[in-house]
Amino acid sequence: MKRAGILAAGAVFAATTTPAAAGEVTITVTDLRSGEGVVRACMTAKEDVFPKCIKDPASHRTVVPAGDAVTIRFTDVEPGSYAIALLHDENDNGKADRALGMMPKEGFGFSRDAKVRMGPPKFKDAVFDLGAVAQDLTITMRYFL
């Protein structure tokens, strides 16, 4: 009987120490000023490439049509710390258009609704932790012009 108890305890221990399963991040984008173009999203765990996570081959990226209701979903995401950057690319030209060389003409948003001051937020201001449980985020699109 003792042996069965030890085996059962071992099975419980093994079940609680297995690596966390890949998760899912669902982003609801709010306050788009128009349904024109697309919303470009990228999510990275690398601080040194945020917010231009195109330089991170392991980043999660997608492009979805803009509209009244925009939902973005990243699946099979390993647990970890991530930051998300969004661009409302209204003319769908694949880049963030600027006025006078520096002021964004198109909308942008970041996880944790990180604020923009004299440039994009730092990774630490936008970072969130993802465990084995799905994460639902809301990101507000912001516009300067």
Predicted local distance difference test score (pLDDT) of residue 54? 84
Query: What's 90's domain CATH number?
Result: 2.60.40
CB of 70 closer than 8 Å to CB of 35 = no
In a domain, 68, yes or no: yes
Alpha-carbon torsion angle 132, 134, 138, 144, nearest 10:
50
Number of domains composing the chain:
1
Range(s) of the domain holding residue 42: 21-140
Span of 19-23, 42-46, 60-64, 111-115 with lowest mean pLDDT: 19-23
Residues 6+ apart with CB under 8 A from 106: 87, 88, 89, 90, 91, 96, 97, 143
Q: What is the pLDDT of residues 47-83, one digit of tens each?
A: 999 998 888 999 999 999 999 999 999 999 999 999 9
pLDDT at 70: 97
Q: For 33, how many CA atoms within 13 A lie in the half-sphere containing its CB?
A: 14
